[in-house]
Structure 1
Amino acid sequence: MFRPLAVFIGARYTRAKRRNHYISFISLTSMLGLALGVLAMIVVLSVMNGFQKEMRVRILGLVPHAGIAGLQPLDDWRPLAEAALRHPEVQAVAPLTELEGMLSYKGSMQPIQVQGIDPQEEPKVSIVGEHMQQGHLDALIPGEFGVVIGEITARRFSLQVGDRLTLIVPELSDTPGGITPRMQRLTVVGIFKVGAELDGSLALIHMADAAHLQHWQSGQVQGIRLAMKDLYQAPQVAARIAAELGSGYRASDWTQTQGSLFSAMKMEKTMIGLLLLLIVAVAAFNIIATLIMVVADKGADIAILRTLGATPRQIMAIFMVQGTVIGSVGTLVGAVLGVLAALNVSELVGWLERFSGQRILSSDVYFVSYLPSDLQALDVLLICTAAFVLSFLATLYPSWRAAQIEPAEALRYE
């Protein structure tokens, strides 16, 4: 099979046993360094993707993806829900009333966001029912003023199911101050834990009890919350639904409350990826050193090829092929090992914990007790492309130096 001269000689140089073992060692080191860099980038970015996925599932599984609220309390939320469900992007709907207040227990206080929910409809749009440590959502009964609190709140106040605490909400009044506190005794009927900050800032009560606190009718609610098929379509879909319903409704979505958190996580992934890319860059510099030594070692061979009619461009291509082969093999090995490690990192960490007897991720400190991993094909493609491009660029200068060798000068002392 016909092969270009540069490809034939460059590939032969790569697999040939060199007389200079030091050059062979540097070449192997370059290849291993590149493989290590690609391996590290794939594993680390996959773990970061796993943590982002866990945060997205836990936080956005608890807060509304989007909401449609009326400027006035809604007497019946079901017609509004039917209008929202006509949009194919909307997966489920549930009623919602939101309040801001303070929880008080034995002299201790903390701010809290209270959501008035329907326990029968809430599992359609929220994962809170799947993360109950004590009690059940069904224990929220109208008129009994039960409350479901997060694990952090329960731990802070040393609360258990059956304990009673006080909710303080602001209320507009005709007094000179304009606002007076309204107090309501609540009974803890459940404790949830999703492993995020919401465990210490969110509480759930029945929507009828929320209406009572707002001086509304028993069946009135503030609006509805929407569960979306695609989270990133929530702002556009919610705005479109509110516009179709008229000027008496306003839209909200998760980007207004949690957008900064996920933007920070995305920026963190980008910066760590760039830092890890330095490992690949160092390996690429090793390729430069390897090729410069090979060029010095093969000076006589280059001169002979030039006298036989090889052009400077062909000489340059020979060493570019050699360096590219080194980079390609290192990138391929690193990609294969990185994919295997990313797919099995949870099991590897679990084995390490059992072997050492130490917990690497404790559920008391972190929101997950295992190391999550989410391998994404686009990340692998970008990493391999960056490694290949860097290794290719590393071949340019040594190859150019090889093309500048004069046959007479190289053969003078041979």
Structure 2
Amino acid sequence: ASTTKILTALLAVEYGDLDDIITVGEEVQMLAWDGSKAGLEEGEVITLQNLVYGLLINSGNDAANTIAVHIARKVSGESLDTQEALDYFGGLMNQRAREAGAKNSHFVNPHGYHDPLHYSTPYDMALIGRAAMENELFCEAISVTFVKTAFWTSKLPRFWVSKNKLINEKFSECYYENAVGSKTGYTAKAGHCLVSFASKNGQNLVTAVMKTESGEQWAETRGLFEYGFDNYKYVNILKQGTIVDRLMVDNCTSDDSGSLAVEISAEDWGDVLQKKDIGQIKQDIVWDPSLLSENSTDDMNLLEAPINKGQKVGELRLTLHGRELIRVPVTAVRSVKRKKAAVEILTPDQTAVKESPAKFNWSPLVTAVIAVIIIMWVTILLIQRKKQRRRYFSPRRYWW
């Protein structure tokens, strides 16, 4: 249905220049008679900005075709004929939808008129709507409820007034004060559809309803917004540079306390959560096993020095009801040096002694031995002389 035009408008503001001057061509004749139109005429000259207004405010299928042909020729850089340009634009639509995360959609025309090969889901259209709302020009265009085309067309001025009851205060029974934009859609097969955007207290929501009965789309959308704002909240959960733990480092130098803080090194991160779940988020750190000391226990993890400042030492994991939300790296806030191995420190002289042990001093022993020998020799000599004397005085001497 015509909620398709959100994607067409997004491509217009992403690829085009809103000041582009466009001549309306035969594409405005290539439409079903019962489709909604902005009243464009072939040969008319109009700005791209005004075409986007005619697309979103008046839900003009003719504006959709004119935008598609212009953007296709501009992006391709070729002089495509009208049908080739419309087909080319269909390819751009499907590519952009996939980029937005829409996996169950397929688009074959820029306006959403019924075709068996043209389909989407509420979830996919919400994803496409979210991507569109990230574009400032789209945000401005989707919020406009009235346009007078006097200064942007070669034809008579037109007055386009939004009939979207969610954003037009004239329809007080359906008006929603927090709505910032909305796009209607209808076909017999799709029923009444509505993709809407609202903002409250800094929180932005997107809703999508399809196949509702006439009038139900307004109440259902309002109810979805109120439920969302009452029960969900965007929470900034992780902030870069936050200290998340402190632990000891084993085998650090004696002048280091060994206490090391670790911090989140990833960019800030947040998510939309149910308010009742915000306090249920659990966090734990999965340490790099290659950096853990062998002295670590089940109750206390120790890192092994050395550790460098900024070094990744593990990952911070957030879980909610057992479901992992995100993992981010944690890094050391400072360096921790490793202590040197214990060795005996020797002076050069001591080292020489260690390496070349001193030889035994033989001098005293030699002296003692010589002295003993001399004494023994003298003793023997004295004994021999004494014997000689005895022989000299002995009678036996006379026998000779």
Is TM-score (shorter-chain normalized) higher than 0.5? no
Greater RCO (Cα-Cα under 8 Å, separation 6 or more): 1
Which structure dedicates a bigger proportion of its chain to helix?
1
Task: Look at both structures and tell me which one has the larger radius of gyration over its CA atoms.
Answer: 2
Q: TM-score, normalised by structure 1?
A: 0.24
Q: TM-score, normalised by structure 2?
A: 0.25
